[in-house]
Amino acid sequence: MKIKLVDLITDKVIEIPDIVKITIGRSHEADISLDGYIDEKETLKYLSRTHCMIDSQNDPPYVTDLDSVNGTYVNGEKVESTQGLSLVHGDILRLDQRGFQVLFENNKARRSEKTKKMAQNETVTMKVGRN
């Protein structure tokens, strides 16, 4: 299953490679590194080196937090590192202070204006620290 993450602020698209388990984080050791994601000078500073993992082996796929300092959230619900949480087309995945809409390639749903406004107005409290 092809998965895309769409940034709720910039509409930038991150395509998740079609492999079973993929890690996302700040480190270049993560399968998808978001180091320098915003631009060359600014990064997602509250993102852990290996923040979360998306496992697409199951249907639906699920996300697991990799003991990150600030947590991984799906639709505002904290993802536990021991269990993980299923992902559904249209879910909002929050990493650092950024929200990403989860899209499955075979679905045509689009982000609503309400979802976009929610992402822009949501207040997030982050701990300062690194993994």
Instruction: Say if 100 falls within a structural domain.
Output: yes
pTM to 2 decimals?
0.75
- Coil, helix or strand at residue 48: coil
Mean pLDDT, rounded, for 35-46: 67
Instruction: Say if 129 falls within a structural domain.
Output: no
Domain residue limits at 21 = 3-121
Per the listing, tokens 């989860």 go with 102
What gap in Å lies between CA 58 and CA 38, rounded to an integer? Answer: 31
Number of domains forming the structure of the chain: 1
Asked if 8 and 111 count as a contact pair (C-beta separation under 8 A), the reply is: yes
Instruction: Say if 7 falls within a structural domain.
Output: yes
Instruction: Say if 51 falls within a structural domain.
Output: yes
The tens digit of pLDDT for each residue in 103-124 reads 997 764 444 444 445 445 444 4
Instruction: Say if 130 falls within a structural domain.
Output: no
Instruction: Say if 20 falls within a structural domain.
Output: yes
The tens digit of pLDDT for each residue in 3-15 reads 999 989 888 898 8
